[in-house]
Amino acid sequence: MPKVVVEYMLRFRDLTGKDKDEVTLSGRCTVKDLINVLQEIYGEDFKREFYNPSGDEIGGNVLVIVNDKVLTNKDLDMKLVDGDVVTLTYVVFGG
């Protein structure tokens, strides 16, 4: 059962009220599974924030980084392993 660290930035931090979580995954251990676990903890708002309106792809402004890798939709089924750091943030660049 892998234990992963989830870092929250910007509105994800506001939604969860935390900088980070440690989540132990059981059963399937993909990124999508992690999001399902977080949705159970933090509710529908979390899901709405993460996914696009149709609910099957990463939202347009959401940025998911696992360790050093920026994820795309096809990576949602990527398996997470013990010690992975998952960062949830947004596509942001200053003006």
Q: Are 34 and 23 within 8 A, CB to CB? A: yes
- Tell me the C-alpha to C-alpha distance, in Å, between residue 15 and each of 27, 85, 95: 26, 19, 25
In the complex, least distance from residue 63 CB atom to another protein, rounded to whole angstroms: 6
> Toward another protein, which CB reaches closer, 24 or 43?
43
Q: Are 22 and 36 within 8 A, CB to CB? A: no
Residues that bind another protein (CB under 8 A): 9-11, 13-14, 52, 57-58, 60-61, 63, 65, 68-70, 72-74, 87, 89-95
> Toward another protein, which CB reaches closer, 19 or 40?
19
